[in-house]
Structure formats: structure tokens, C-alpha cells
Amino acid sequence: MTDRKKHLLLNCDMGESFGPWQMGCDAEVMVFVDMANIACGFHASEPDTMAQTVKLAVEYGVTVGAHPGYDDKAGFGRRSIPHSPESITHLMQYQVGALQAICQLYGSEVSYIKPHGALYHDMMNKQEVFEAILDAAASFNGQVRLMIQATANNQNYLSLAKAKNVELLFEAFADRAYNDKGQLLPRSQSGAVHHDSDIICKQARLIATEGVVITDTGNRLPLNADTLCVHGDNPESIAVVQRIREALA
């Protein structure tokens, strides 16, 4: 067995409040994570929230990533909206550029992009969307990486990204169930989301130490991930993140 724990970083979606509407416990969870995926104003957030989250990340030495989505605050970015590939690229540049400007104000920078919600799923399922997002990442002087879901076979994504000189980060999930193809079970399906903290921590540890997950049919699926997505929506989820951090430390 190869010890991979030192390589597995924790990432968390943050900055998703909007004016007086508050979502998440960013200040409490920031101390436990390595990477902050900061909403860019389309599915959630606004300039002040973006700035506050960047400042918090700088305070704790957390890497800043852009978390752009479809222009869909009412649906929290979870509804797929048809776009041409060129429009997808512009959509990404618009949001990432806004966060990059705020980062520069506070002595930080956008290091990677992790699309949100429906845009993330479209990226993983439609090559034209994936390539359009690669074009956006490449436009930032090749310095901005793209975070995508780790699958049973990452090679096709790697080949497409290499052609555009974009580095990929592969993400796994501790609190989601996988099928034998390496896909997340739909949230509408029973058992798709793990709520038991012991199960979540066990899956996180297995991904970190052995690079595998146990699928919904009980099979061991290789999953070569660089980072693990965690959530800080409430005190209970933060306690789980702390347990994961301690388990991987």
C-alpha cells in the first residue's frame, strides 16, 4: 500500500452568501481546508462576499480557486442552461476575471477553477463544454488549473487538457456514493449522499491511503484524486471536516 495522505488536499465551496442571506460557515471551516472554491456572483455571492472570503483565505493561508456557474441565482446554479461553446468560455472568463481582480486587491490570486453545479456536470458529460472551459483556463496565461471529477479513467481529460496546456486537478467526494463507472449516484437516488460521519471518514481515508472507493455494489474502484471535496454548511458538517483533517494528518 502506498501512503498518499500527504498529497490529498481538502477543498470546500465557499462565499455563497448573498447580501443579508447567509449560507455556510466559512470562517469556521476555513481553518481545516487547503483550498477555497469561491463563488463568483452568478449562482451565488456578490462583490463584498467575494472580497470577505478572499481576505479570510489569505488570513489562513488557503489557496483561492474560482467557483463559477451558470447565471442562475434562483436555481443556485443547479439548472443546465444551453450556451454555445464560445459563450461558455466568456461566462468563465467574466466570473474568474472578477475574482482575480479582487484577489489582486488583497495580495492573492486565482490558482484554479472549479465549475459549480450544473456547469460542473455538463463539463464532465459534454466534451464541447469541457473544451470551452479549458479555453477559459488557458487564457489566464496557463497559470490557472482546472479541477474536475476524478473518474475510473482520467486519460481522455488529461489528453484534451494537455493539448491546451492546462493542468488538471482531480477531485473525489467523501460524502457521495459512486457507481461502478466512477460516477456519483444521482441525489434523487436513495443512498446517494452519506450522512454517517463514520462512513464519510472511512471513505476519505480509503481514497487518501489506497486511491480507491467502494461502489454501491461493493466493488473496489480505483480513483486517483488530488483533492477531496468537503462541506462546511453547518456545525455538524464542520465537525466531520475536522475529523477528516485529523484522520489524514
What domain count does the chain have?
A: 1
pLDDT of residue 204: 94
Q: Which domain holds residue 155?
A: 5-248
What's residue 233's pLDDT? 83
Residue 21 has a pLDDT of: 86
pLDDT at res. 5: 44
The CATH number that applies at residue 92 is: 3.20.20.370
Q: Where are the alpha helices (DSSP H) in 12-126?
A: 26-29, 47-60, 85-105, 117-125
Closest CA to 11 of 169, 201, 129, 128: 169
Q: What is the pLDDT of residue 153?
A: 81
For 181-208, write each residue's pLDDT tens digit: 888 998 888 899 998 999 999 999 999 9
From CA 7, how far away is CA 232, in angstroms rounded?
21
Check if the beta carbon of residue 246 is closer than 8 Å to that of residue 230.
no
**127-138 and 85-105 helices, crossing angle to 10°:** 40
| Span 205-247, pLDDT tens digits | 999 999 999 999 999 999 989 999 998 888 889 999 999 999 8
* Spans of the chain, pLDDT less than 70: 1-6, 142
